[in-house]
Structure 1
Amino acid sequence: MASCAAPTAPRIEHHSGDGSVLGSGCSRPRLSWTVPRAETGWVQTGYEVEVTRAGVSEQFHVAGDQQVLVPWPAEPLSSREVTSVRVRVAHEQQWSPWSPPRTVEAGLLQTADWSAHFISPLGLGADLMPAPVLSTNFTVLGHVAQARLYASAHGIYVATLNGRRISDNVLAPGWTSYEHRLRYHTYDVTDLIVEGDNQLGFLLGNGWYRGRLGYMNDRALYGDRLALLAQLEVTSTEGTVHTLASDGSWTARESEIVADDLYDGQRSDLRRAVAGYPLPTGAVEVRDDVDLSTLTAADLPPIRPLQSLPAQQVWTIARHGGQATIVDFGQNGVGWVRLRVRGLAAGTEIVIRHAEVLEDGQLATLPLRSAQATDSWILAGAEEVVLEPSLTFHGFRYAEISGVSDLRPEDVELVVVGTDLERTGWFSSSHELLDRLHENVVWSTRGNFVDIPTDCPQRDERLGWTGDLQIFGPTATFLFDTAAFLGNWLTDLAAEQLPDGSVPHVVPDVNRNELAFTPAAAWGDAATIVPWTLYQRTGDAGVLERQLPSMRAWVDKIADLAGPDRLWSGGFQYGDWLDPTAPPEEADKAVSDPDVIATAHLARSAQLLAQAAAVLGRDDEADKYAALAQEVRTAFAAAYVSPVGRVHSDAQAVYALAIAWDLLPTPAQRRLAGQRLADLVRTNDFRIGTGFVGTPLVCDALAATGHVDVAHRLLLQTQCPSWLYPVTMGATTIWERWDSLRPDGSVNPGGMTSFNHYALGAVADWLHRSVAGLASAEPGYRRITIAPSPPAALTHAAARHLTPYGEASVAWERAEGQFTLSVLVPVGTQAEVHLPGTEQVLTVGHGEHRWSVADPGASRSGVRDWSKATVRDLLDDEQVWTQLATAAVQAGIVPDVGAAAAKLLKYLDTSATRVGFAFVPDDRFPGAAAIRAAAYRLLSC
């Protein structure tokens, strides 16, 4: 009988990592596990969960093959309860060894568990005043067995116990929709408590609660007073629990931080930290006006330092009649500078300014808009000191440091911070620029996933734009374990949604105006698309259950706007935002008709809502919204699709949506629309022609209609606009605009230009699913599709992903006419394998598999008989087309290669041998003879 290895320690809900779960907010947490290895033929037929609480173990036997998010089998956890859980699995009558145990400790699950009160400083700590410290002293008698600190704040905090930071968490408690939900964290501070006198202190900063927020220069959107909630529970070795709660006995004082803001930076006067400096002190006020029922446990990873980057280059520039030092860290990151200084006189001021790029040798600060992004310190003396902020963060690659002469590279580093998400996805290939593109996507994800998914980390914005996230969700869920992170954000989305179903454009909503709640396609559709993406990638139907009312409210709202004709038209729309043709200051001026895009999204959201309802067993709702989706598809086709497959506005994005979302009623229209999309790409010289909305879908649409080679040319284009153009310009993150940095090295003059913006990196999902060939075929990767589409320009590619069932991977390589495919399938799943260039489709179980077939790319080599080819075929031959287009430029017929391609749109079905006449129908044109001679030479057989 087949056997298997012991399962992994059970995962608690979506808590990642190998350690104990502390402060869980769920009383009945679901359990998941993976089976690292199993013999061929092994299938889980049952499992047993052992739950140990208060020294008493209880075992629960369950038949079945489920191993992801299985229900909690025991009595619910109570507040503070510590429980150990382990599992074993069976194949028929044969049981595996027990897994290692996982400990889960519940947080404070009821409002009544809080004896602490919110407190605010009196007479100090007001807006624009130095950051306050709230503290208290307490005495511990006897030995400590355990100590837990529960803390939250209006603002952000840094907590210390006896002068030591209680954790490496930063910017806590993070950013939620504060009116509806305020997060608290649980900390194990047992090792920081000493017998005798102790001091607990909290430095409070403005953070998102009271600092500048949004691009309208608003402050204190949530309130004008900082506040702290803290509850310390110390358990003695005898079992006695002593509780220290924030109340009116605490005291307040000013800190050495005289100004702090997320956008503008932090200013510190270290002389104020010297013993004996007369810092203002005061009392605190108990805030009984704060609703403790909004408190929620932090069931997602915290923000913390993730790594540090050393300086790559350091040089001196002239600035304001003096000198400053520029530091290049070689990578656009998010966090702050850590600087070591010594030997400088008291009163010396050190200033650090930040920027993502340089322009004319100086920091390019225009993209920051009004954000100052500046940290400064006034030193207290000549002793060595490490300078780094704690109440702000910046997005930057370059730092300008003044006040320090002879700065040593080893004295400065970039501290990278972000939500501590577990990495779950990787991609590699033989194409250096493609690999750097993928790495840029990873860095932009890290940099913008700082407690919420933001648009950018550097300017006066950094908001949770809904459209950006729904576009990027599939990529994010492959690269990182985002289930808890995005689930938290979706809870805020539902909380911020208006009663009529309107979804704000940013979550949490800080715009708070009429436009912010004007329904916008692709942006509001995050309400339906993101939950569905999470379900597909994690197998968690619970997210659909939680979000279904929000999904339904959104679809009902936009269906009402569309009316009986089922066309969502008119009104405000972002459209295909940042289409490459959009002027710098008019990002919505795309070639795609916004009404086409809006109606397509209505069809998409209605369909996803129907599917979600079906998953949850709500058949009547499923039928209702499936019928709505079909009505919208019918209306879309009647209004926007011609009998020959032309989609209104004839742009890459509208064809991508129509094909990918099945909005074309007949196979012939689908085929012709695919041909038109491919032709638009060809005659745009294989350059991208989509903005945020079309970019995630254009390669899929091309591949689905038989034009995968065109998709590969589009992917690997290096001229602007393209995915690889920024890489050739030195980008280390994804840009907001296709031309954020122009070919001449100048920054795009638009007032909205970021160099760290993940949306256009959504193509990475296609790299994983198509180029490498690793995709989920059933929710949670219970079934996997292996179907690589190898680009001719690549000799190998690979992807791997930590699925809910374990690691899945695919790697292929081509050499000497053979194509070799290697696959790893995790236990508990099956894979459907499509071997390129063959009709073979194989179904395989867990384990390692390897196949070798004739290289499908080998048949594409050889000299073409151009007398039997068309101009379209000529464009598809990259080498010949490049030479011909270059000849056209040299002959003065067109200004550049892109214009050469555009000139051929009407002649694609013309014989390739007539391409010279397509370029220049008039013999009298000076370049006619030259281009025809060049064409004859290149196309001669």
Structure 2
Amino acid sequence: MPTSSSPTPPRFEHRTELGPILGIGTERPRLSWTVPTAPAGWLQRRYEIEIERADRLDRFEVASNDQVLVPWPGRPLISRESARVRVRVADDQYSGWSEWATVEAGLFDPADWRGSFITPTEIGGLDDAAPILLSNVDLAGRIVRARLYVTALGTYQATINGRAISDQVLAPGWTSYDHRLRYHVYDVTGIVEAGANELGFTLGNGWYRGRLGFEGRRAIYGDRLALLAQLEVTLADGSVQIHATNDSWCALSSGVVADDLYDGQTTDLRIEARTGRRHAVESVDYPKERLVAAEGPVVRPVQEAPALKVWTSPSGRTLVDFGQNIVGWVRLRTSGLAAGTTVTIRHAEVLEDGELGVRPLRTAKATDSYVMDGGPDRILEPAFTLHGFRFAEVTGVPHLTAADITAIVVASDLRRTGWFESSNTLLDRLHENVVWSMRGNFIDLPTDCPQRDERLGWTGDAQVFAPTAFSLFDTAGLLSSWLADLAAEQWPDGTVPYVVPDVIGAGSPPSPTAAWGDASTIIPWTMFERSGDSGILERQYPSMRRWVDRIAAAAGDRHVWDQGFQFGDWLDPAAPPDDPARAMTDPALVATAYLARSAHVLAATAAQLGYAEDHARYARLADETRAAFSRRFVTADGRMESDSPTAYAVAIVWDLFADESQRSAAGRRLADLVRAGGFRISTGFVGTPVICDALTSTGHAQVAHRLLLQTGCPSWLYPVTMGATSMWERWDSMLPDGTINPGEMTSFNHFALGAVADWLHRSVAGLVPLAPGYRRIRIEPVPPADLDFASTTHRTPYGDARVAWRRNDGRLLVTAHIPVGAEADVKLPDGSRLFTVAHGDHEWAVDREPGDPTPATIRDLVDDAPNWSVLLRELSLAGIGFDTETKVAGRLLAFFDQPLTELAQALAPEGATLPDTRARVREITLRVTAKMPDRSAVLEGTLG
């Protein structure tokens, strides 16, 4: 058989950066590759790996069809060791070799760190200017390699000879400092010079010492900034010079006179740091055993958003619109400003009454200031803060133009993996808004919002969004690191904090809460499903088990978790603005459902890892909890105690019914509740990720599509119609009149409600992961009637997978691309049989799609979107007494099963004369259907 193309250069663990991978944190990094092309019928049956080290070249042949996270075949790496790796694959005969990929080990042993953490002794206090730590090193001889290993308590900007070593910002990021501290490794071979070199590190407060949380606390982890740095230079003669932080270094005050992630940065350009007084430093204790290598990508500027408009507000302020709600900061170019002039930039996500809408910031100042030095041209931008904003207010710069100012997007440099496109521009903008909110809130860890005095790693938000996160970006490295923090922060009794790292805990375990604590089980499982990494299950298994044991104990022998505080279906749109936990769904129902879900996930994890006894134990717990859930919250005919969409959705998707008849009845009731709500969303954090799946899986896809494409408030598309460029925290963060929601907690950049994007990929476009890492895929598009086409691409661990469909001349054309190493089960919308295809390009034509039924009942009329819309308009014009779609649909809920002859009775307002109402409704209905003779005859007959 002909061979495949050469594989791509191997990847190492979950590192995605281009070029050599420096500072890998494991001695045996797992390898992954893709095979771009192969002939039909080709299967990888074996592979060869070559590992080239300084002293030898080893080749290993393995009989296996695996190509994702395969074991390192050679001897373990040692600290600092570099190796080049390449791979080739074979069916009958070998392909060509891949290009070489380079991996370099980090520092595996605490003893590898020769220096100590150092801190200034007289400057750098909590309210002082940011300190600069300096040292000089002389290098004698020709330099062949130079590495800089760095971490800090605080954040750092590093320079050598005044030149930045990297575009990374806010390093080393935020971890649970009491347990783990990340370090980074930089190749500075091209920066250091033979002879004298100056190392400089400016330290910012960052997460370590700045404000954190909504209680105004500072210096939660410590009140002294500190640096650990180690420069290792290999010379041509083979000798290695190591220069590390110690008491011989010195400190100076910088021109950054104040810095805070929430409040912003103040910089005095008149201060020449290098000419100031030099101060001593001293060593501080921090256990080097806590140092860990980076697993995910660094935080850096990833994009620029030029100003679209500069204008004067009603109050006379200079405002700037960047056209996109982002996270980052402003870069401003100035010229000729006098010394002592203060330039101030304030930030906000929205406008209100023509001015910056700053109330959503709460106490965060989100302000950057610069005191000018009188120089002719200056570029102003901060380095130790972040803001969430679309708009800025600038003072101190006369005659500002759009060319002078740019927004800099800052984010973890995640590799994009998922795309979606359709014929509906509002829907495409919704998807883009999800992407932007994820980009803005996945900064070193998943946070809730970027603008106010919070920005915390809320576990519930990350849990509900995890499938979408993996659909859009390669988040395996970032979330792996965060899950390690979660396990470290978990209480001995198994309770998971509400936020990780936990900066709001009060010194004792909080009440365990469903959906939030379940991040400990569901996110590792989601990561395994989407990335194929069973190692994350092995590492997190003790944490997963502790959580399930904790909540099983809270539920007791009844297996009903109805005690203690719960967030419930947080931000249900029916909840009052000042009480987002007061949802329609019983918190005990939500909690018990999550107990069943996490027990099921843990049982599946135990089975995957080969823990037979644990599998049996937790499978039994899951079964008993499902049975208890059904007894406690479900009636015999499938009605839920909480007659809410969230209650039905979680029970359907997580299989919590006693039998299929209950599930089917629940699906019908869920669809009717959505209809009765005027196809407006009525779920919070818990129900939103699963409601469309629940409707689709019970045969009500058209209802899910109506829910998706609704533009009234509340809905997914309502914010888009209001000009949103990112996801909102509340369905109505901005009210229809343009005012900000009165609730204290309001953000315009919050990813949780964007969890629907994963369903867009899986159902609307039709690309479903079936086996871990997308090794097996299902192609099953469910096309909405109102779309002409949709497509999705996902960069799987095996390569790009694509599905697209388009309506054309009465046919539906479906195309797909399956990457080499994967296969797909196909189910087309015409209901044809399920069949399997291998890698390559495929195309199918569907001649017949399921049609819409002729309206015979009131429910059918509600489902007939064009006629339903006309009916609503006609009723409004006729003054029947209903001013909103929700009121009309809600009135009809009890009559959905009735024939259209009951429409007049159903719509008769209190006190109205029935014959008059019947006549007007009959006239309206006939007028609505006049252009559809095949339907008008039916309606006329039933109403006549």
TM-score interval (norm. to shorter): over 0.9
**What is residue 190 of structure 2 aligned with on the other side?**
191
Q: 2:12 is aligned with what amino acid? A: I
The answer as to whether partners of 1:582 and 1:590 remain within 8 angstroms in 2 is yes
The answer as to whether partners of 2:314 and 2:354 remain within 8 angstroms in 1 is no
Q: 1:897 is aligned with what amino acid? A: E
Query: Is it true that 1:860 corresponds to 2:860 in the alignment?
Result: no
Q: 1:907 is aligned with what amino acid? A: F
Residues 923 and 267 of structure 1: CA distance in aligned 2, closer, same or farther (over 3 Å): closer
What secondary structure, in the 3-state scheme, does the structure 1 residue paired with 2:804 have? Answer: strand
How far residue 795 of structure 1 moved from its aligned partner, in angstroms, is: 0.5
Aligned-residue RMSD, C-alpha: 1.3
Find the partner of 1:508 among 479, 487, 501: 501
**How do residues 396-407 of structure 1 correspond to structure 2 at under 5 angstroms?**
396-407=389-400
Find the partner of 1:463 among 453, 456, 464: 456
Separation in 2 of the partners of 1:275 and 1:13?
41
Separation in 2 of the partners of 1:450 and 1:538?
20
How far residue 855 of structure 1 moved from its aligned partner, in angstroms, is: 4.4
How far residue 318 of structure 1 moved from its aligned partner, in angstroms, is: 5.5
Separation in 2 of the partners of 1:498 and 1:923?
62
Query: Is it true that 1:523 corresponds to 2:519 in the alignment?
Result: no
Query: Is it true that 1:148 corresponds to 2:141 in the alignment?
Result: no
Separation in 2 of the partners of 1:274 and 1:475?
46
How far residue 912 of structure 1 moved from its aligned partner, in angstroms, is: 1.6
**What is residue 865 of structure 2 aligned with on the other side?**
878
**What is residue 310 of structure 1 aligned with on the other side?**
306
Separation in 1 of the partners of 2:55 and 2:834?
52
Query: Is it true that 1:32 corresponds to 2:32 in the alignment?
Result: yes
Find the partner of 1:284 among 261, 281, 284: 281
The answer as to whether partners of 1:140 and 1:194 remain within 8 angstroms in 2 is yes
**What is residue 80 of structure 2 aligned with on the other side?**
80
Find the partner of 2:370 among 365, 377, 386: 377
Figure out how many residues of one structure are paired with residues of the other and give that number.
928
**What is residue 923 of structure 2 aligned with on the other side?**
933
**What is residue 752 of structure 2 aligned with on the other side?**
759
Find the partner of 1:673 among 654, 666, 687: 666
**How do residues 531-542 of structure 1 correspond to structure 2 at under 5 angstroms?**
531-542=524-535
Q: 1:290 is aligned with what amino acid? A: Y
The answer as to whether partners of 1:786 and 1:834 remain within 8 angstroms in 2 is yes
**What is residue 298 of structure 1 aligned with on the other side?**
294
**What is residue 47 of structure 1 aligned with on the other side?**
47
What secondary structure, in the 3-state scheme, does the structure 2 residue paired with 1:549 have? Answer: helix
Separation in 2 of the partners of 1:51 and 1:99?
12
What CA deviation, in whole Å up to 9, does each residue of 1:290-348 have, x standing for no partner?
A: 111100111211000001110011112365xxx43111000000000000000111111
The answer as to whether partners of 2:555 and 2:563 remain within 8 angstroms in 1 is no
What secondary structure, in the 3-state scheme, does the structure 2 residue paired with 1:190 have? Answer: coil
Separation in 1 of the partners of 2:926 and 2:563?
51
What secondary structure, in the 3-state scheme, does the structure 2 residue paired with 1:504 have? Answer: coil
How far residue 840 of structure 1 moved from its aligned partner, in angstroms, is: 2.5
**How do residues 62-101 of structure 1 correspond to structure 2 at under 5 angstroms?**
62-92=62-92, 94-101=93-100
Find the partner of 2:834 among 841, 851, 857: 841
What CA deviation, in whole Å up to 9, does each residue of 1:118-142 have, x standing for no partner?
A: 0000111000111110001121222
How far residue 882 of structure 1 moved from its aligned partner, in angstroms, is: 1.6
What CA deviation, in whole Å up to 9, does each residue of 1:788-844 have, x standing for no partner?
A: 000000010000111111110001101111111110001011100111113232211
Separation in 2 of the partners of 1:515 and 1:100?
53
What CA deviation, in whole Å up to 9, does each residue of 1:105-124 have, x standing for no partner?
A: 10111001010100000111
**What is residue 109 of structure 1 aligned with on the other side?**
108
The answer as to whether partners of 1:913 and 1:936 remain within 8 angstroms in 2 is no
What secondary structure, in the 3-state scheme, does the structure 2 residue paired with 1:391 have? Answer: coil
**How do residues 879-898 of structure 1 correspond to structure 2 at under 5 angstroms?**
879-890=866-877, 891-898=879-886
Residues 645 and 514 of structure 1: CA distance in aligned 2, closer, same or farther (over 3 Å): farther
Query: Is it true that 1:685 corresponds to 2:678 in the alignment?
Result: yes
Separation in 2 of the partners of 1:356 and 1:486?
27
How far residue 233 of structure 1 moved from its aligned partner, in angstroms, is: 0.6
**What is residue 356 of structure 2 aligned with on the other side?**
363
**What is residue 933 of structure 2 aligned with on the other side?**
none
**What is residue 913 of structure 2 aligned with on the other side?**
924
Residues 406 and 274 of structure 1: CA distance in aligned 2, closer, same or farther (over 3 Å): farther
How far residue 887 of structure 1 moved from its aligned partner, in angstroms, is: 2.9
Q: 1:358 is aligned with what amino acid? A: L
Structure 1 residues without counterparts, runs of 5 or longer: none
Query: Is it true that 1:797 corresponds to 2:787 in the alignment?
Result: no
Find the partner of 1:647 among 615, 637, 640: 640
Q: 1:317 is aligned with what amino acid? A: S
Q: 2:908 is aligned with what amino acid? A: V
When structure 1 is superposed on structure 2, of 656-665 and 266-275 the one drifting more is 266-275
How far residue 286 of structure 1 moved from its aligned partner, in angstroms, is: 1.1
What secondary structure, in the 3-state scheme, does the structure 1 residue paired with 2:558 have? Answer: coil
Q: 2:637 is aligned with what amino acid? A: V
What CA deviation, in whole Å up to 9, does each residue of 1:13-55 have, x standing for no partner?
A: 1111331101111110011111000011110111111111114
**What is residue 817 of structure 1 aligned with on the other side?**
810
**What is residue 941 of structure 2 aligned with on the other side?**
none
Separation in 1 of the partners of 2:579 and 2:876?
31
Separation in 1 of the partners of 2:66 and 2:870?
58
**What is residue 912 of structure 1 aligned with on the other side?**
900
**What is residue 209 of structure 1 aligned with on the other side?**
208
Q: 2:196 is aligned with what amino acid? A: D
How far residue 913 of structure 1 moved from its aligned partner, in angstroms, is: 3.1
The answer as to whether partners of 1:354 and 1:394 remain within 8 angstroms in 2 is yes
How far residue 851 of structure 1 moved from its aligned partner, in angstroms, is: 0.9
The answer as to whether partners of 2:14 and 2:476 remain within 8 angstroms in 1 is yes
Q: 2:37 is aligned with what amino acid? A: R
Separation in 2 of the partners of 1:923 and 1:207?
66
Residues 318 and 122 of structure 1: CA distance in aligned 2, closer, same or farther (over 3 Å): farther
How far residue 382 of structure 1 moved from its aligned partner, in angstroms, is: 3.8
Separation in 1 of the partners of 2:33 and 2:601?
29
What secondary structure, in the 3-state scheme, does the structure 1 residue paired with 2:270 have? Answer: helix
The answer as to whether partners of 2:895 and 2:902 remain within 8 angstroms in 1 is no
Q: 1:935 is aligned with what amino acid? A: T
Separation in 1 of the partners of 2:412 and 2:571?
28
Query: Is it true that 1:6 corresponds to 2:9 in the alignment?
Result: no
Identity, in percent, stands at: 56
Dislocated runs of 4+, deviation >6 Å = none
How far residue 195 of structure 1 moved from its aligned partner, in angstroms, is: 1.8
The answer as to whether partners of 1:7 and 1:88 remain within 8 angstroms in 2 is yes
Query: Is it true that 1:15 corresponds to 2:4 in the alignment?
Result: no
Query: Is it true that 1:553 corresponds to 2:553 in the alignment?
Result: no
Separation in 1 of the partners of 2:574 and 2:508?
25
The answer as to whether partners of 2:793 and 2:801 remain within 8 angstroms in 1 is yes
Separation in 2 of the partners of 1:293 and 1:543?
21
The answer as to whether partners of 1:893 and 1:927 remain within 8 angstroms in 2 is no
The answer as to whether partners of 2:148 and 2:186 remain within 8 angstroms in 1 is yes
Separation in 2 of the partners of 1:172 and 1:18?
19
Residues 514 and 707 of structure 1: CA distance in aligned 2, closer, same or farther (over 3 Å): farther
**What is residue 544 of structure 1 aligned with on the other side?**
537
How far residue 885 of structure 1 moved from its aligned partner, in angstroms, is: 2.0
The answer as to whether partners of 1:324 and 1:403 remain within 8 angstroms in 2 is no
What secondary structure, in the 3-state scheme, does the structure 2 residue paired with 1:201 have? Answer: strand
Q: 2:913 is aligned with what amino acid? A: R
**What is residue 736 of structure 1 aligned with on the other side?**
729
The answer as to whether partners of 1:21 and 1:104 remain within 8 angstroms in 2 is yes
When structure 1 is superposed on structure 2, of 884-893 and 869-878 the one drifting more is 884-893
**What is residue 831 of structure 1 aligned with on the other side?**
824
Separation in 2 of the partners of 1:197 and 1:474?
51
Separation in 1 of the partners of 2:776 and 2:788?
27
How far residue 927 of structure 1 moved from its aligned partner, in angstroms, is: 5.8
